[in-house]
Amino acid sequence: MANEEHLAVLRQGVEAWNEWKANNPEIRPNLSFANGKRITIRGAKLSGVDLSRTNLSRADLSKADLIGAKLNEANLSEAYLSEADLIGADLTSADLSSADLIGANLIGANLNKAYLSGADLTKANLSGADLVGAKLIGAKLSGANLSGAKLIGANLSGAYLRGAYLKGANLIDANLIGANLSGANLHKAKALHTNFYKAIFTGACLQDWHTNSSTNLEEVICDYVYLQADQRERRPIQGNFAPGAFTKLFQQALETVELIFCNGIDWQAFLSSFQKVQDKTEVSEFFIQSIENKTDGGLVIRLSLPNQIDKSQIEYYLKQEYEYQLKAIDKIYRYQIQATYEEIATYRHQSSEMIEIVKAMAGRMINVEARQLIDRRAVSDAAAKIQRLLQQLEQTYPTNTPLEKQIVVTEVIKHIESNPNLKMRVVEALKGVSIDALKELIDHPLVNVLLAALEGYQE
C-alpha cells in the first residue's frame, strides 16, 4: 500500500522529493498501488507524469501505472518495479541497476543508454523496446520477451537469457560475452558483428538468424541447437556437438546470404537482379550454394560470398533489385498477355517447385540401365521437339553461367508440363530408351543438364 506521506512529498515536485530523499537515505519510499487505486500527483495519474532526473532509488513502485511516464535520467537503482506498467515510458539514461523489474511491462519503452546491470527482468516484456547502448551486464532476462527489441551496441556480457524470446531482435555490435542463451529463441535475430565469446547456446533456436564474418563465436559452449521453432531440426541430430563443432558449423554459415521467397520465385526477375548486383558491387566471386524448398511452400536460395564482402549490404541490394524487376515483369504480364494476379502467383508457385531440376544440376551421376527400344519414331519426335524448345529459349535467355542454364532448363520443363501431348511423348520415350540413347538424338550444349532433370519421368 502506498505511503501517503511519501506521496505528499512527491506531489511537491522533483526538487522537494530529491531533497527529502537526500535527508532520509535509510527510508525505502512506498509508491505502490493499493487495492488497484491509482496513485495521483497533483490530480494527475502517474501515467505520463514527468519524473525526469527524480531520485527514486529503492522506491517501491511495484504494479505502478507509469505508462508513457518521463523517467529519463531518473535514479531507480534497487527500485521495486515488479509488474509495473511502463509501456512507452521514457527511461533514457535512467539508472535501473539492480532494480526488480520481474514481470514488468516495458513494451516500446525507451531505454536508450539505460543502466540495467544486475537488474532482474525475468519474464519482463521488452518487445519493441529501445535498448541501444544500454548496459545489461549480468542482468537476469530469463523468459523475457525481447522480440523486435533494439539492442544495438548493448552490453549484455554475463547476462542470463535462458529461454528468452529474441525473435527479430537487433543485436548488431552487441556484447554477449559469457551470456547464457540456452533455450533462447533467436529466430531472425540480427547478430552482425556481435560478440558471443564463450556464450552458452545449448537448446537455442537459430532459425534464419543473421550473422556475418565479424560475428564472434569463439569458444561458444553448446551441446545442441534447433534450426526450426518448436524444437525441430535438431543439430546434431543425435548426441551433442564435439568441442568446437558448433563454432565450426556456423562459421561456414557466416559466408552465406539466405534469400527467402515465401510466394514462389520469378526466375527471370531473380536472374536479372543477380546480374545487376554483380555489376553494381563488382563482386563476381559469389555463387548459389544451394536452393531448398521449405515445408510451408517457401523457397530458400543460399548464396556464398567472399569474406570481405558486407553480406547485409548484398542481401539488401538483391532484395531491392528483385522487387524492382518483379514489378516490371508483373506489368508486362498484366498489360501484354493480360494475365491475372492469380495466374502470376500460380506461375511463381510452380517455379518454386522446380527444385528437383536444380538438384539434378548439382552433378549427380546418371546410371540408368538401357531398356528395350520402343517406337524409334516417337522417340525421335520427342527429341526433336525438345531440341527446338532449347534453341528457341536460348534466343531469349543467355546461357553463359550455371544459373542462366538453369533458367533455360526450367522453362523447357514448364513447356513440357503445360503440353499434355508433348509430356506423354517424352514420358513414353524415356520409358523405352536410356538417357544416353536419347542424348544422342538431341544436339544441344544443355542436353546433359536437361536430361538429368528429366530422369524423374522414367520413374
Q: What pLDDT, on the 0 to 100 scale, is given for residue 177?
A: 96
Q: What secondary structure letter does DSSP report for 80?
A: B
CATH of domain 258-352: 3.30.70
* Cβ pair 211, 250 in contact under 8 A: yes
Q: What pLDDT, on the 0 to 100 scale, is given for residue 352?
A: 43
So where are the chain's domains? Answer: 1-90, 116-254, 258-352, 355-458
CATH of domain 116-254: 2.160.20.80
What's the pLDDT band for 322 if we cut at 50, 70, 90? confident
How many angstroms separate the CA atoms of 457 and 459, rounded?
A: 5
Q: For residue 248, with 0-12 CB atoms within 10 Å meaning exposed, 13-18 middle and 19 or more buried, which class applies? A: exposed
Q: What pLDDT, on the 0 to 100 scale, is given for residue 459?
A: 52
Taking CA atoms, 310 is separated from 12, 60, 207, 249, 251, in Å, by: 55, 48, 21, 20, 15
Taking CA atoms, 285 is separated from 278, 282, 308, 322, in Å, by: 9, 9, 11, 20
What is the chain's Cα-based Rg?
Answer: 31
* Cβ pair 135, 115 in contact under 8 A: yes
Query: pLDDT by residue (tens digit) across 61-76?
Result: 888 888 998 999 999 9
Percent of the chain with pLDDT over 90: 33
Amino acid occupying residue 223: D
Query: pLDDT by residue (tens digit) across 426-437?
Result: 666 565 555 566
Q: What pLDDT, on the 0 to 100 scale, is given for residue 137?
A: 96
What would the grid cell of residue 95 be?
Answer: 539508472
- Same fold for the domain at 1-90 and the one at 116-254? yes
Query: pLDDT by residue (tens digit) across 167-225?
Result: 999 999 999 999 999 999 999 999 988 999 999 999 999 998 988 778 899 999 999 99
- Specify which residues 232 forms β-bridges with: 228
Query: pLDDT by residue (tens digit) across 25-63?
Result: 766 655 554 333 333 332 235 667 788 888 888 888 888
How many angstroms separate the CA atoms of 345 and 269, rounded?
A: 14
169-183, 235-249, 314-328 — most confident range:
169-183
CATH of domain 1-90: 2.160.20
pTM for this one?
0.55
* Cβ pair 116, 135 in contact under 8 A: yes
**pLDDT for 116 beyond 90:** yes
How many angstroms separate the CA atoms of 194 and 170, rounded?
A: 10
b/e map of 397-436 (b: 16 or more CB within 10 Å)?
bebeeebbbbbbbbbbbbebeeeeebbebbebbbebbbbe
